[in-house]
Chains A and B, each alone.
Chain A
């Protein structure tokens, strides 16, 4: 009965039902697409991170793990966990008179659980003959070049001869970070026969674990850490293995959460606006029903059911649309992305959409629907509804479920209490600001209602004739504008963080341990090799002994006894020593967060100046003005922290956490670091060999693979940022379109009445244009400004100050929004004015 009546009600208001479903579907489509994309990107990034470790979890130690330890470790992990052993060590590979340092990794089948080793003669090592069948190796090409080896050559490792089974083309399973020497793979079966594992060896023994997909990695990691309390055993999850990009991955995750929230909020704004209007128009019909005997509670139930039904229909429609949209989106992305995406709609997203569609719609409409319980048939005899103070108070209470649900969703989608709370708090504040501005706007419109210019007078009259409608349209457009502006501003800020400085070239080699008297000779050699270092940085090893005259070797906040693995690591890290550098100006990719960079060269006996990287300073709880004491070669050096720097680590330049003012320690014993940019592949190995031959103490690390891997991850991140920003803007525009369309249609009664009274078509059109341009123009501009301010606040609080605003963007977006509202409203007005007025009034 209730269902039948609900359908009848919807049939009576087909335009509302259609617009509500269209709006919710569009909003939810944006939400679903973004959520599906986010899950896809998340999966891709998680997969990338997994390949860095080659497993979900690992334990490793510089000693063999006992049988008991490996048993306890496996027992602590979920049932079905697979494990394998690897042993890594540095050793010498020899052939004839020549030998070279190599990083040997001895492995079991099937190594690794994630990732692949692509060989010269095999697209994957999994298809190649296993290394366990005979003493054989896969070797890095630089070793082959250095020792003149090829497939089938013999090489000696320890006391065992090995045959080169293949050359490594690409090692996707290699851990991020460049090794000191070329890598070779051997089966663990042959390791003992090399005689390398005698007492005193420096091999690293690891167990790799593949956890069943349904189990939580974090829970497993904690269980593993608890089961193995020995601090000499390192427990790592794949999420910890790619820390170079950790900060950006964290930012990206927060950003995606915000985007999903924005999409949802846009849908909510549209739905709330439409329902408000619909409910006001249906009030009289409901009052009639109540006067005919329908109880208030049944009336409430009827409309709740109706809203819920519309929400579910919208979710189903948007899921069906998303099923078609997502694969095309993924195909499109394939052309732009270095990685492939899975074109699927995760079931979790569909369930989420239905739940949000149903419950979200109810919560959004509840503040209007609660009025039903107090609706009196006497309303039929009133021109306009009258609200008592009691009703207003109850109306405010009805917002509580919506606010709580929105708050919960904010935290859930942002994966962070801080980000979620920030977003929620700002949303509430922004609504209040818009309500205040809208009220001022309506008051200001009064002065135009006596204007001699007829279209202006009519426009002001339209605005003031339906104050609640104007108010809600203004708030909805303004909020939409805020959100549409917010995401591209954050996108632009994060993209700047990912960008390399202009003119920056990616390095091929890092050179370290260059002695002071070798710098010029090395530069000359590089010139003869047709190359040139991009940067040359001095590096001085020191110990940070005191901060503000307090001993730094122990954390004074911790208990003095080393009780936990973390406490031991913390104490050890405080005593690892620090690398100092000095220079008079900021490096490329550095910017000052707080304080001032050095004022000239230090002279005199007073403490000099020191600049710290912001996150490093915060980790050590050091702030501006603190006095640091270093021990440099037994000598005490004091310096005051005068600046905190933001360092872009993806510039691939030698970066330092601590930079001293020139003149303090310039003559201390030091080595130099150099990076050599962009060498063509065919010149890399000859250059490397020439440097090592001329300067045997200088270590040359080929960072090409590392740089390529990080660059690829950065490209993926940039792609995510761009796609999400465009999709959000598109979703927002669609919601604004539906609001403008509905607002224009809501004026049909006024327009037709004026038409019957003799108003001319152009005058009505101008009046309508004035109304919409003023609402959308002011709301868009204020929204753009608030979006800009909000992006600054979020950037400062969530993205650690990464904020690079695009000031032209708000202007373009505001113009776009105003044009959209104007065109939509004009289109609707022309349609209304073109139809027969009697019909419109009768309807």
Chain B
């Protein structure tokens, strides 16, 4: 019990120390996502959250901070706990929800994915934070029905919760070998640059 108390105290102190710069920054954007947000295979400075932060700072928002909350392999199931973890410590100005690619690749039942995204968006809205939803598609080799059902999840959540949506996060990048790494799934630095040129105006519009 005493040990638990010590751990809790230390964690609070530690996270305040870590979060101090983020708390002073304006605006703060939290990006929750998977390996596409984490930037698997590329250095941290070439991931899309970092590129967006650079652009915001170049556009005059010198204190802008984009927190990279991406985890490789994450599905929408982990979205809620990730969200709670961050919201316990800070209140960002905008949360970008970019989970779901792994649900699509693992063909997780679309009702489950819808429920997970929906609950996470409710939690964000309850906290009074703006949210931007990044849509995903399942690859065409998953047949006809599943990719269609999967894609619909995002438009359904966006319309039900009345939140802005980027319909397909990898638009113009997916399927182009010159913009992806050897695995054909994860964008390379050029791919991330192209993604940012598309999503940046939408993000800036939400601030």
Contacts and interface: CB of A to CB of B under 8 A. Distances in A.
A61 interface: yes
Contacts of B11: 663, 666-667
Interface stretch (B55-63, B107-115, B157-165, B199-207): B107-115
A667 B8 CA distance: 9
- Of A196, A516, A663, A669, most buried by chain B (CB within 10 Å of CB) is A669
A205 to B, nearest CB: 10
A43 to B, nearest CB: 34
A517 to B, nearest CB: 7
Interface string A629-671: 0010111100000000000000000000000001100111111
B54 to A, nearest CB: 15
A602 B43 CA distance: 30
Contacts of A631: 44, 68
A517 B9 CA distance: 23
B71 A92 contact: no
B38 interface: yes
A96 interface: no
Contact of A605 (B13, B44, B116): B13
A601 interface: yes
A537 to B, nearest CB: 15
Contacts, number: 172
Contact of A663 (B10, B77, B145, B181): B10
A692 to B, nearest CB: 9
Contacts of B182: 61-62, 231-234, 572
B73 A541 contact: yes
A51 interface: no
A697 B7 contact: no
B7 A601 contact: yes
Interface string B17-57: 11100100000001000010011111111000000000000
A90 B6 contact: no
* Interface size grouping (class) on chain B: 35 or more
Contacts of B42: 575
Contact of B38 (A202, A203, A577, A670): A577
A315 B7 CA distance: 72
B69 interface: yes
Contact of B74 (A63, A516, A541, A603): A541
A696 interface: yes
A575 B142 contact: no
A199 B175 contact: yes
A541 B6 contact: no
A633 B17 CA distance: 15
Nearest to A205: B184
A517 B75 CA distance: 15
Contacts of B183: 62
Contact of A200 (B38, B144, B174): B174
A195 B147 CA distance: 13
A515 B143 contact: no
A63 B143 contact: no
A577 B143 contact: no
A717 to B, nearest CB: 32
B106 to A, nearest CB: 6
A554 interface: yes
Contacts of A545: 44
Contacts of B30: 634
A603 B141 contact: no
A604 B177 CA distance: 48
A98 to B, nearest CB: 12
A404 interface: no
Contacts of B71: 541, 577, 633, 669
B195 to A, nearest CB: 15
B81 A516 contact: yes
A671 B78 contact: yes
B164 to A, nearest CB: 22
Given A196-B140, A575-B39, A696-B112, A601 B6 contact: yes
- Of A94, A234, A516, A577, most buried by chain B (CB within 10 Å of CB) is A577
B197 interface: no
A286 B173 CA distance: 89
B139 interface: yes
A660 to B, nearest CB: 13
B140 A157 contact: no
B82 interface: yes
Given A99-B146, A669-B78, A201 B141 contact: yes
17 contacts: A61-B182, A62-B180, A62-B182, A92-B107, A94-B145, A100-B107, A159-B143, A200-B139, A201-B175, A576-B72, A577-B72, A602-B7, A603-B9, A605-B17, A634-B22, A671-B74, A697-B116
Interface of B: 3, 6-7, 9-11, 13-15, 17-19, 22, 30, 35, 38-45, 67-69, 71-78, 81-82, 85-86, 103, 105-109, 112, 116, 137, 139-146, 174-175, 177, 180-185
Given A94-B143, A605-B10, A669-B82, 17 more contacts: A63-B184, A92-B142, A92-B143, A99-B143, A196-B143, A198-B140, A200-B174, A203-B141, A232-B182, A233-B182, A513-B77, A543-B38, A577-B40, A601-B3, A603-B10, A697-B75, A697-B108
